[in-house]
Amino acid sequence: MAQAKLIPYRIKNFPELAPLLAKAQEQMSAKQKAEIIRAIDNGDDGFSRAFQLEAPSSEWQRVYTFGELAESYLNEEHYQRLDVALIEDILFGKLGMVRRTGGGSPMRLQRDPLIGWIIRKSENVEIGPIIAGGRHRQMALQIMLRAAAPNADIDSLTIRCMTRFFRNRDDLVRAVFADQEGRVMARAEKREREATGLNMTSRESLAASLGQLKRDDYGTALGGFVKLCAIENGLDDLTLDQFAAAGVTAYNILKKENKGLNQKVHDTDGAMLVQFGDASCRALASLLPSVMADRSRGPKNSKLAKLLARAIAAQTSLICAA
């Protein structure tokens, strides 16, 4: 169930999208397939002109290749979730681009993706492109293209996007929240994005980014360690958001039972959090069977949190009576 990745945004890298590709191949009309092939053959921006709604000219418009957007994952600091149901709705919902629920001609893409760049000229910083909004839209377009033209060089085709420039990742994160394509972020994911400076690409990167962390975000950091441990070890009993939420709750349990814990973590510049993360990771796999077997009422992430808090306390100088 753990479905977050930090890999190129190409549909072949996301096996959970394979059923949507098969559905598009089955339900795409011969007429639409011919239109897509003709658009591809009409040059670099042929597909964009044919399948995106016309938008007023703007200085913020820019054309990107699908290849550029696929490789934009290199500029990200958080594992990205893909909502398969949302991509399916873009392709087959009321405004479906392959088939519309209720009938009617397939629609064009209703809104251009939003691409962000972090630029601070005084520091010679330029990071981008980063998909701030439209990840699901461009994946849906890839499915359309692949369904109509299996052998096409999708990476070389272009898509029109809106581009915005930001001074830092905090400003970019606010844009991500504002452009969610109808997807509701889980609280664990929202906390991670709001935690200043956290790099969630690996446990090592997370440990290296703890120095400027605010005290309110210590639980979020432990949640990140637990989630990343689950990813690294292929643990899929719970969702990634459940693993992260368990880590947050485990820290809150320990904080409640160990007076001054936040100050101790602060005094170690985050080293204690790394210790907690390592302790969690050593115990995580062995704790999951009892969590999954527990049929009592209550969310499984809360049950895991109590066990994690005990495991951390057992491997450190903390106390835990949970």
Q: What is the pLDDT of residues 8-58, one digit of tens each?
A: 999 999 999 999 999 999 999 999 999 999 999 987 677 777 888 776 566
Q: Which tokens go with 184?
A: 């509701």
For 208, which DSSP code?
H
Query: For residues 142 and 175, which has the higher predicted lDDT (pLDDT)?
Result: 142
Q: What is the pLDDT of residue 134?
A: 87
Average pLDDT over residues 156-185: 72
DSSP 1-69: ---EE-S---GGG-GGGHHHHHHHHHH--HHHHHHHHHHHHT-TTHHHHHHB------TTEEEEEHHHH
DSSP-derived pairing of the beta strands 125-133 and 61-65: unpaired
Full residue range of the structural domain in which residue 227 is found: 193-315
- In this structure, are 214 and 290 located in the same domain? yes
Q: What is the pLDDT of residue 216?
A: 85
Distance of CA 41 to the CA centre of its chain: 33
Question: Sorting pLDDT into bands at 50, 70 and 90, what band is 182?
Answer: very low
Average pLDDT over residues 129-153: 93
- In this structure, are 31 and 177 located in the same domain? yes
Q: What is the pLDDT of residue 69?
A: 95
- In this structure, are 88 and 201 located in the same domain? no
Which of residues 157, 184, 211 is at a domain's end?
A: 184
Is residue 144 domain-resident?
yes
Q: Is residue 145 within a helix (H) or strand (E), and if so which, with residue range?
A: helix 135-148
Strand partners, 163: 115
Which pTM does this prediction carry?
0.60
User: What separation in angstroms does the CA of 218 have from each of 43, 57, 81, 105, 264?
Assistant: 51, 45, 23, 51, 11
Averaged pLDDT score across all residues of the chain = 85
- In this structure, are 120 and 9 located in the same domain? yes
Q: Which tokens go with 106?
A: 């397939």
Q: Of 104-113, 136-145, 266-275, where does the model show the most confidence?
A: 136-145
Q: What is the pLDDT of residue 58?
A: 63
- In this structure, are 169 and 238 located in the same domain? no
Q: What is the pLDDT of residue 141?
A: 94
Q: What is the pLDDT of residue 197?
A: 62
Is residue 266 domain-resident?
yes
Q: Is 80 left (phi over 0), alpha (psi -120 to 50) or beta?
A: beta
> Per the structure, how many domains does the chain have?
2
- In this structure, are 293 and 237 located in the same domain? yes
- In this structure, are 149 and 202 located in the same domain? no
- In this structure, are 32 and 77 located in the same domain? yes
User: What separation in angstroms does the CA of 266 have from each of 211, 272, 278?
Assistant: 9, 9, 18
Which of residues 164, 184, 204 is at a domain's end?
A: 184
Which of residues 158, 184, 210 is at a domain's end?
A: 184
Residue 322 predicted with pLDDT over 80: no
Is residue 294 domain-resident?
yes
Average pLDDT over residues 115-123: 87
- In this structure, are 77 and 101 located in the same domain? yes
Q: What is the pLDDT of residue 129?
A: 94
- In this structure, are 94 and 222 located in the same domain? no
- In this structure, are 217 and 309 located in the same domain? yes
44 with 158: CB under 8 angstroms?
Answer: yes
Q: Of 45-54, 180-189, 239-248, 302-311, where does the model show the most confidence?
A: 302-311
Q: What is the pLDDT of residue 52?
A: 83
Question: Sorting pLDDT into bands at 50, 70 and 90, what band is 77?
Answer: confident
Question: Sorting pLDDT into bands at 50, 70 and 90, what band is 185?
Answer: very low
Strand partners, 141: none
In the block, which residue shows the tokens 């003709």? 38
